[in-house]
Structure formats: structure tokens, C-alpha cells
Amino acid sequence: MRRHLTHLLAFVVLALGATVFAQTSTDNSNSDLKNDRKDRREDRRDLRHDRKDIHQDKRDLHQDRKDARQDQRDLNRDRKDLSKDRKDIKEDREECKEGNKADCKDAHQDRKDIAKDQKDINKDKRDLHNDRKDIAHDKNDLHNDRKDARNDKKDLRHDRRDIRRDKHGK
């Protein structure tokens, strides 16, 4: 009888140990499942934010390119004005040498116009340089946002895989 009792006692201890172990392992898998779902939600949120950033960077890039084109137009217009003023001053100097006093005053005004046009050209060059720098910066931001979106998609895929494995016990 003692023998059966010890066997029975050993069997009960093993059975209780197995059930306790099974219950703790399911809690752990539930915790894993919970963490994986949380990671999935966070990755979805990150992906949404990255897509918004991508759209914003595309808008910024378009606006900067538009500004650069406008500055290039202004620069070309100012160069054309400068060329015209130089031509006018050349003609006025020739007239001034012939003794026409009004053309001497006009030559003075043309020199002022040349100085103003040169200032405008320098300002447009600076603006164009800054716009090109902004374009490069926006391209870099767009590249990084796309890279983040790719990584978030990959993380989302891994989280879905982990959830499936946790549910099916693999």
C-alpha cells in the first residue's frame, strides 16, 4: 500500500507541477502576444506619421523648386536690365562727348541703375543658392522619411509574424 501511495503522491506532484508550468507559460505567451500587438499599433502609428512627413517633404520640395525657378527668372531679368543699362550708358557717353549735357545727366542715372541692378543680381544669386540648399535638404529629409517608412513596414510585418507564431504556438 505504501508503494501505491508514494506512486500516487509522486503522480499528483507531477500533475500539479505540469499544470502550474502550463499556466505560467500561457501567461508568458499572452504577455508576448500583448507586447506584439502593442508593437504593431506603435509601428502603424509610426508608419502613418512617416507617410505624413513624406507628403509634407514633397510639398516643401515642390515649393522650393518653384522658388528657385522664380529666382532664376529674376536673375535673368536683372542680367538683361544690366546689359541694357550698360548699352545705354555707352550711347550716353558718346552723346556727352559730342556736347549734349542732358545725355551726361542720363549717363549718371544709368550708372545708378547699373549699381542697383548689380545689387539685385547679387541678391538673386544668394536667394537661388539658399533655395538650392533647401532643395538638397528637403531631398535628404524625403529620403530619410522613406527609409523610416520602409523600416516601419518591415517591423509591422515582423510583428504580424510574431503574433501569428504566438497564437499558434510555434
Q: What is the residue-level pLDDT of the chain in tens, covering all 170 positions?
A: 677 778 777 777 777 776 766 655 555 567 888 888 888 899 899 999 999 999 999 999 999 999 999 999 999 999 999 999 888 888 888 888 887 777 777 778 888 889 999 999 999 999 999 999 999 999 999 999 999 999 999 989 998 888 888 888 76
Helix/strand/coil percent split, the chain, to 5: 95, 0, 5
Instruction: Report the distance separating Cα 79 and Cα 81, nearest Å.
Output: 5
Count of C-beta atoms within a 10 Å radius of residue 123: 14
**What is d(CA 123, CA 75) in angstroms, rounded to the nearest whole number?**
9
Closest CA to 29 of 167, 124, 154, 150: 167
What long-range pairs does 85-88 form, CB within 8 A, spacing at least 24? 85/110, 85/113, 85/114, 85/117, 86/114
Report all structural domains of the chain as residue ranges with CATH numbers, in order of start.
2-168 (1.10.287.620)
Question: What's the whole-number average pLDDT of the chain?
Answer: 85
CA 63 to centroid of chain Cα atoms: 14
Instruction: Name the grid cell of 105.
Output: 545727366
DSSP symbols for 1-61 = -HHHHHHHHHHHHHHHHHHHHHHHHHHHHHHHHHHHHHHHHHHHHHHHHHHHHHHHHHHHH
Residues 3-42: tens digit of each pLDDT: 777 877 777 777 777 676 665 555 556 788 888 888 889 9
